Chains A and B, each alone.
Chain A
Amino acid sequence: MDLVTEITILVLAVFVGFEVISKVPTTLHTPLMSQTNAIHGIVLLGGLIVVGYADDFVGELIGFIAIVFGTINIVGGFMVTDRMLEMFGPKKKKPEPAAAEESKAADSTEAGS
C-alpha cells in the first residue's frame, strides 16, 4: 500500500474517532479510556510480525517482550473494562430492599425487647 493511501486512511480514522467518541457521557469516560487503551493493544500484531524476522537471541528477546507486553495490554485492558462495565449493566439481583427490611425488623425487635 502506498503512503498516500495510508495517510488517507489515517485522516479518515481521526474523523471517525472524533465523531464516535465525542458523544460519550462523562460517566463512561473511565471505561472508555480503558477500552480504547485495550484497543491499542493491537500493537501485538506488530510484535507477531517482527518476531518472524528475528534471527538472533537479542531479536527474539525483543520480539518476545513485545508480544508479552502487547498481550497484557489486550487481555488486561478488555477484562478490566468488562469489570468496570459490569456495574452499569441491568442489576440481576436486588437484595438491598430485603436486607433493609431485615435490619429494620432486627431494629424493631431490639427496640421491643
Chain B
Amino acid sequence: MSPIISALAPDSSIVAILYIISFSLFIFGIKLGTHPTSARRGNTVAAVGMAIAVATTLALEGIGNWGIIIVGILVGTIVGAVASKKVKMTEMPQMVALYNGLGGGAIALIAWSEYRHWIHQGEEATNYLKEFALVHGMSPEAAADGISRIAGPSVSLEVLIPTLLAMVIGSISFWGSNVAFGKLQELIPSQPLALPGQKIINAVLLIALVVGGVYLGINNEYMDLDQPVFIAMLVVAALLGVGVVMPIGGADMPVVISLLNAFTGLSAAAAGIALDNTALIVAGTLVGSSGTILTLEMATAMNRSVANILFAGFGSPAAGGGGDGEQRPYRSMTAQDAAIQLAYADSVVVVPGYGLAVAQAQHTVKEMADELNKKGVTVNYAIHPVAGRMPGHMNVLLAEADVPYDQLKEMDEINPELPQTDVCVVIGANDVTNPAAKTDESSPIYGMPIIEVDEAQQVLVLKRSMSAGFAGIDNDLFYNEKTSMVFGDAKQTVQDIVAELGNL
C-alpha cells in the first residue's frame, strides 16, 4: 500500500479516463509522426502520453516498494538518457534493437513476477488454512476445500495463458534482439551462424515450449504451480530467440529487428491482459500492428518473404554469383582522376550506402555535391529502400547533412534515369547495386530490387577493398568495364575529391 499519496483503485473511472487519454496521445503521436514537419511534435505528444500513463500507475492502490521503484526509474532514466545522447546516428539500428530487447526482457520478468505472486498466494492460503485446521481440528481435505473457497482453486486460464505468452515472446524478443545488436555492432560475426540441424533444434525448442505451456496450463491449481518448469520455459525461449536470429545474415537484420519490435508489442499486450491494464493492451497492440506493417514493407523492399528470411538463412557459405574466379581483373583510379571525371560530367548520381554512414561522410559528400553544382553538374542521390541498415536510415543521415529533399530520389524514380547519367558514384554501398540480383538466378539475392548502377555511362565505386558486402557475396559490378574502383576510407576519398575539385 502506498503511504505517500492517496491511492486510486485500479478499476476506478478516473484511472480508466487517464489511461484513455494516454493511449489516445500515443495514437495521435504516431499520426503526427507520419509527416516530416510534425513528426517531432508527434514524438513529444506520445512521450506526454507515456508520462500520464506512468504517473497514473504510480498513484494506483497496491503500488508499493517505493525504494525499488524510485531507484529503478532513476537508474533507467540516467542510462537511457546518456546512451541516447551518446549514440552515433549510424548506430541507431542497433540502439533500437537494444531498447527493444530491454522492453522484451522487462515483459518476461514481469510475467515471472506474476507467476511467483500466484505461488506465493497459494502458499499463504495453505499456511493460513493449516493453522486454521489445526486450531479447529479439521482434516487436510477440509483445509484444501477451504483454500478453494478463499482463493479460488486455480489461477484462471484467462490470466495464466497471456502470462505464459508474455513470458515466452518477451524472452525470445530479449535474446533475439541482443543477438541482432551483437551482429550490427559486429560483436559477433554478421555472417549467418548455425549449428548443424539448427532448424530441427528450433522446432524441438518450440515444441518444448508448447508442451511446457500446456503442462503449466493444466496444472493451474495454486498448489500445483511449478516454478522450475516456468523458469525452464524462460530458458528454452531464450535459446529459441538466439537460435532463430543467429543463422540470419546481417543484411536481413533490419527486418528481424522490426519483427522483434512487433513481437515485444504483442507480448506487452498479453501482459496487459494478464494484469488487466488497458494502457498496456492498447499501446502494445499498436506497436504490434505497426511493427508488422514495417516488417512486411522491409521484406518487400528486399523482395524476400518474412518466412524466407527467418527460416532460410541468407546466402549460406558464399554462394555468390560468379565469385569463383579468385583474381578477376578490375580497374582502380585515384581520387584526383575521379574528381576530373566528375567535374566534366553533366549529371552525377550518388548512391550512398552503409559505408558512407560508418565513415560519417555525409557532410563531406554534401560538400562534394556543392562543388559539383558550382561547376554546373547536376547531382542527385539514389536511395535504395534498405540503404543503410533500415528503411529511411539513409534519408535521416543525409537530412542531417542538409541535403535538399528534392535531390533524394527513390529507387524506382532514379532507375529509368540512370542510362542517361554520366557518372554514378557508389559510396560504401554494395549489395544494393549488385547486378547479380537481376541476372544470376543462383545468387542468394536474386530478385532483390537494386539500383541499376551498371546502366550508367561510368561508375565510380568508393570502397576500402574488394571484399564482399554485408550479405557476404561478391559484386559483379566491381569487375564491369565501366567501373573504376577508388580505394580508401570513404570520407578521406571524398575529401580528396573535394580538394581536387577546388583546384580544377
Q: Which residues of A contact B (CB under 8 A)?
A: 1, 3, 6-7, 9-10, 13-18, 20-55, 58-60, 62-91, 96, 100, 103-104, 107
Contact = CB atoms under 8 A, between A and B. Distances in A.
A99 to B, nearest CB: 9
Q: Which 8 A-B pairs have the closest CB atoms?
A: A71-B76, A17-B289, A67-B72, A76-B80, A75-B80, A13-B285, A50-B113, A85-B40
B448 interface: no
A72 B76 contact: yes
Contact of B46 (A7, A38, A75): A38
Given A20-B34, A54-B113, A82-B40, A30 B391 contact: yes
Contact of B288 (A9, A14, A89, A107): A14
B92 A84 contact: yes
Contacts of B120: 53, 55
Interface stretch (B62-70, B431-439, B460-468): B62-70
- Considering residues A20, A29, A45, which has the most beta carbons from chain B within 10 angstroms of its beta carbon? A45
B347 interface: no
A40 B264 contact: yes
Given A13-B286, A76-B79, A43 B268 contact: yes
Contacts of A17: 285-290, 293
- Considering residues A46, A58, A77, which has the most beta carbons from chain B within 10 angstroms of its beta carbon? A46
A76 B69 contact: no
A2 B62 CA distance: 21
Interface string B281-315: 11111111111011001100000000000000000
B46 A35 contact: yes
Given A3-B158, A13-B281, A20 B30 contact: yes
Contacts of B275: 45-46, 49-50
Interface residues of B, number: 109
A51 B29 CA distance: 29
A72 B271 CA distance: 19
A40 B65 contact: no
A87 to B, nearest CB: 5
Contacts of B43: 31, 35, 38, 78, 81-82, 85
- Considering residues B43, B68, B96, B265, which has the most beta carbons from chain A within 10 angstroms of its beta carbon? B43
A84 B87 CA distance: 11
A33 B30 CA distance: 10
A17 B31 CA distance: 10
21 contacts: A1-B278, A7-B273, A10-B281, A13-B282, A16-B286, A17-B288, A20-B286, A21-B34, A28-B35, A29-B297, A31-B396, A33-B261, A36-B287, A47-B109, A49-B275, A55-B120, A66-B106, A67-B106, A72-B83, A74-B54, A78-B43
Contacts of B79: 68, 72, 76
Contacts of B83: 72, 76
B94 to A, nearest CB: 11
Contacts of A25: 34, 36
A89 B41 CA distance: 9
A42 B267 CA distance: 11
B377 interface: no
